[in-house]
Structures are given as structure tokens and as C-alpha cells.
Amino acid sequence: MQIDTRHYIDGQWADRPDAKLIPVTNPATEEVFGQIAAGTAADVDLAMAAARRAFDSFSQTSVAERIALLERIRDLLEERTEEFALAITQEMGAAITFSRAGQVHFGIEHVRAAIEVLQEFTWQEEVHGITVRKEPIGVVSMITPWNWPLYQITAKLAPALAAGCTMVLKPSELSPFTAQLWAQVVHDAGVPAGVVNVVHGTGEVVGEALASHPEADMVSFTGSTRAGVLVAQAAAPTVKRVVQELGGKSPNVFLDDADFADAVPKGVLGAMRNVGQSCAAPTRMVVPRARLAEVEELAAAAAGTIVVTNPLDESAFIGPLANAAQFDKVQDLIQVGMDEGAKLLCGGLGRPQGLNRGYFVRPTIFSEVTPEMRIAKEEIFGPVLVIQAYDDEEDAIRIANATSYGLSSHVQSGDLERARRVAGRIRAGQVHINYPAWSRHAPFGGYKMSGNGREYGYFAVEEYCEVKAILGY
């Protein structure tokens, strides 16, 4: 049993051996393998005070000093890749190959991006005779989810450090040990005391205290739309900046001139990667009605190649869902899809054959899904893909935008100009044309109920800055 009752506050480990303990479950076995201390509002107060004390000096450090600090963090993360990968697989079930090549690798890329941005960031410029400066916003409350335990931490902390902010982080209580490893990296890299603080606990206690705290100048939150609303409400009385990356129900629009044989299997695998537990996953495949049968055949065949097994097995493409609540939610929504009359192409209720324990789910594809169905509207957050048919290009765009979310989207076409035109009409924070490579500098965030603000690259560093105009400079 891995028991860790420590928070990381003011540059040292603050042990709370008498705290209430929160169990941590291995989703592949359904067994509790660890416990962490449940933080309190008093712990948040201590961490906030430390961050406030540290801000005056850290905000004045030079760009060169902050680059050197981020470079040390990057190097330590790279040295400890396997340790992080194993922790992520154990606590949230990502396949070990994906933990290494996806979860950890892309987490490190956010640090690399912050370094690159910092090397060229414009802190002061003249605009129409006015001096405009960008300055670190101050102390930042950060709340991160369980589905990308390291990636979401570095996406926030790396640009905040680059900007010269100090911060208090609450990682998900369902995936806390990755955050403990992160805190050790920060400590070993020589981050000054109080600049980075980590307090574990529940959203109801620690999350609420962070969102409402008067010492916080900003809240950066990633999670469900429901929780994001609560965070914004808690932050409102103190009029702090709130940046939110929330849910998604991302369309993958296939125009009739796309390469279906190549693009449909890629779309299926993209929707299922990380067991579908990614807010930007392309979980709605929008295809020409005349080619629906072809798409169904290609999609079912692709799903049949997905290996679902023990996530420590090198052959696994996906492991289990991350926790029992998510397993129950996905099972319920698969049943809803069947009850609503959607055509079940593959998968369905229950675990895959041969897996009698763990939160494993069968890769599931529904076709003949209409925009009114719950499975077309709600974020399932599991390996469930829905196929929606359209009649013409205008209908495709209408279906793509027929969602309360607007985080990510895809367009497949053999005609780049046509794809660009359609991309311009999709209301989402990101549009991917013909599966381009992921970019650590592409701004990420949503329209509508998918949130506000942007992360990644230059836009992330800018998000952690205030803008000051100096007249008569």
C-alpha cells in the first residue's frame, strides 16, 4: 500500500499524518493500492500565503533565470519518463505504451514550448505612442483532472512559470501520485520556495477554497463543464480571472472527396485513444449519407483491431477506464444509445471477452445517430464513437455545430480549399484538416460550453499576464 500524507508547501514536504485519507484505486484490478491525505482549507491558506510571499521576488527574475529553471525541469522529466509512465498507468489505467509516448511525452512538450516562447516573448512594446507592458498576473489557483495527470499539470504550470507567476495546484484526488512525482521534480530543479505548491484533496474542499481564495489572482481549471460552472461561481465574488478548459463533443467531418479508406480507421483510433477519455477526442464522425454503409464497414473493422487488455501489457492499445464512476457512466450511455434506437455496429455493454475484473469497456460504435439523441449531444468520455449522416455540405456544417460544445473538430477532404472553407465555419477552438501533427504551440481552448481562454504555447504565457498601459513613458 502506497500511503503518502504529504502536501508540497513553501518548498518543503508538509506531512499531515492525522489527515483523513483518500483511497486511490488501480482501475485495471479495482484494488486500492494507495492513499493520500485530504487537504483542508487551512492547508490552502498556508500554500496561498507561501505563493504570495514568493511572488514579489519570483516575478522579478530574469528571462534567462526562468529559461534555465524550465530547462532543468524538462531534463528531469525526461530522465524520469518511465517512473511517470508507470505511475500514470497504475493510477488511471492508460496503456503503458501510451503513457510513455503520449501522456509523458506530450507533457514534456509543454515545458519545451514554454522555453521556446520565453526566448522570444515580447514583454514591452510601443503601440500608437503608448508603452504597453505584459506583467505576471500574480498567484494562480490551478485545478487539474485525472485523465491526463502530467500533461494537464505542465500545460498550466510551465507557461505560468515562464510568465513569472506563483501557484497552488490541486491535482485530481483520483490520480495524485503523478503530481507527487511532479512536485519532487520541481523541488529537485531548484524552484524557489513558495513558487509551486501542491495541495491534495477533493474539489468540494480544496478546489472550492482555491477558486474562492482572496489571495488568488487567477484560477486555471480543466475538467467537466458542470464543475467549471461551480469554479466560476466560487471565483466571481473576488473578481479574479477564470480560464477554463471544459468538455467537448468534437465532430470529424468527412467531405465526399476524402480518402475514406485511410481516414475512417484513423478517426476510429483517434476517438478511442486514451480510452476515449480526452475532451478533444473526435467522437462524432459526420459522413455523407450515400457512403454510410462504406463508413460503417471501415469503422467496425478498425475497432476490431483495438487490443484491450492489462495496461501494463506492451500490446495494449487501451486499458480500462480510469475509475468506477466513469465505467458506470459509459455503460449507462451505451444503454441509452441502444434504447434510443441507434444502430450498434460493434461493442456494447459489459467488459471485453476474457476480462472479468477492472473497468474495461468494449470499443463501441453507433451509426444512424441523429442530433437529437443523447449520445450525439452528451460527452461520454469513453471508447464510444457515433456516426452521423448528412445530405449535403450545408447539412454537414449544421450537424458539426449542433452541440453546446466547441473545443475541437476535424475536417477530411481531398480538396484543401474546400476543407479550409468548411473549417472556417465550424465553431470550435481548434480545427484539424486531414489529421495534421499535434503542435505544442497551437492555442487550445473552446467556444460555447467548452470554456474560455487559451492554453499552449504563446497564448498560454500571455494568459498568465496582465496588460499595463503606460502613458508619457
Active site amino acids: 245, 279
Q: First CA to last CA across the chain, in angstroms?
A: 61
What is the rounded CA–CA span in Å between residue 3 and residue 21? 9
Q: Is the dihedral of CA 189, 193, 196, 200 positive or negative?
A: positive
What is the rounded CA–CA span in Å between residue 301 and residue 345? 10
What is the rounded CA–CA span in Å between residue 360 and residue 308? 8
Q: In which residue are the cell numbers 508540497 written?
A: 8
- Burial class, 294, CB count within 10 angstroms (exposed 0-12 / middle 13-18 / buried 19+): middle
Phi/psi of residue 241, each to 5°? Answer: -70, 140
List Cβ neighbours of 109 (8 Å cut-off, separation of 6 or more). Answer: 440
Residue 379 one-letter amino acid: E
Residues facing residue 14 across a β-bridge: 7
Look at strands 410-412 and 432-433 and give their pairing.
parallel
Q: What is the DSSP string of 45-100?
A: HHHHHHHHHHHHHHTTS-HHHHHHHHHHHHHHHHHTHHHHHHHHHHHH---HHHII
* DSSP 8-state assignment for residue 408: -
